[in-house]
Amino acid sequence: MNISLFSSASPVCPRRVRRLFAPGTILILTLLFSLGLSAQRAGGAELDANFKGHNVGYVLERNATTNYEWTQTGDKTWKCINKDTGKDQGAMREDRRGEWGVFLTNTATGRNFQIDLWQKKVFDRSTGTVTFGDILKVGARPSAPPKPLAFRPGNDYYYIVNLSNNRCIDVAASGTGDGTNVGLYGKHGGKNQ
């Protein structure tokens, strides 16, 4: 049996193949793979190489003509939203992370999904390896915004403080009527805060 690497339609010329498989080239390729260096699969969208399974928290996916946005909402929780209609596709529980992916389960339906950054695809693992869509964009895990703080200093009063700027809700001139202006002001302990 005679097997050839080349066909009449092949754009690869034999000289290029000889250069690719020259002893020095094979040694360099072997060293790179033995060091564990890796890159995303060629083709598809150009994704930020800084994001892998351990730190991704946002994925924009395109399935046929529909865009889906996968966003990490908590330590082990995600949500998926149809970007075209705004419809929530359900809450997801993060089961585990790998070097190149995140494995999720829809908490309502039990369907399993894999965000695969190496193949640049989202897979629906509930039905085998059926492709759910192509990944167009990735981003970091969202950082938690500062939570507002409410505390009770006594006498049935509460201060509501925004931790990012340390300002309190302040009612103008201690007004109580409809349309009274409310704003943010540095905490001074007045009864209008």
> How remote is the C-alpha of 16 from its chain's centroid?
39
**Residue 83 above 60 pLDDT?**
yes
Q: Tell me the backbone φ, ψ of residue 142, rounded to 5 degrees.
A: -70, 140
Edge-to-edge strand ranges of the sheet holding 157-162: 149-154, 157-162, 167-171, 182-186
**Residue 77 above 50 pLDDT?**
yes
The model's confidence at residue 31, banded by pLDDT at 50, 70 and 90, is very low
Q: Determine contact, residues 157/150, Cβ cutoff 8 Å.
A: no
Q: Determine contact, residues 192/168, Cβ cutoff 8 Å.
A: no
Give the model's pLDDT for residue 188.
Answer: 80
Distance in angstroms (rounded) separating the CA atoms of residues 91 and 106: 6
Residues in CB range of 153: below 8 A, 6 or more apart = 159, 189
Distance in angstroms (rounded) separating the CA atoms of residues 39 and 54: 15
Amino acid at 35: L
**Residue 73 above 50 pLDDT?**
yes
pTM of the model: 0.55
Query: What's the mean pLDDT in 59-64?
Result: 91
Query: What's the mean pLDDT in 69-98?
Result: 92
